Amino acid sequence: MGIIDWSDFEKIDIRVGKIIEVIDFKEAKKPAWQLKIDFGNDIGIKKSSAQIKVLYNESDLLNKQIIAIVNFPPKQIGKFMSECLVLGVYDEQGIVLLKPEREVALGTKIG
């Protein structure tokens, strides 16, 4: 892994959002959810696909605050267009979502 400059890190727009809709992504190769995430007035609502069904069901995710990168270009995943990247860490059981330690305003910038 190479070292990046601080200016490289500053290009990444990482924000807090709240999951407002969870839909089963039946066409995905691995078990996944389609998520609609509210990032507040400045950014609005973005969609993402997340392979997190091993550890999270729909009720676990709805209204949960998460952390995501919001300035990647959209990525086509099958018939679904993902507009942000939800962040998580891998453990033995699956992907564990990153979230704020306490509730914060939607769209709050991480940095």
CATH assignment of the domain containing 38: 2.40.50.140
Q: What was the pLDDT predicted at 33?
A: 96
Q: What was the pLDDT predicted at 38?
A: 98
Q: Cα separation of 37 and 47, whole Å? A: 6
Task: Report which residue type is found at 89.
Answer: V
DSSP annotation of 64 reads: -
> What total number of domains does the chain contain?
1
Tell me the two tokens of residue 93: 């059981």
Mean pLDDT of the 23-49 span = 94
Query: pTM here?
Result: 0.93
Single out the residue of 44, 48, 54, 43 nearest to residue 22, CA to CA: 48
Is 50 inside a domain boundary? yes
Residue 59: which domain range?
7-102
DSSP annotation of 30 reads: S
Segment (H or E) for 76: strand 75-77
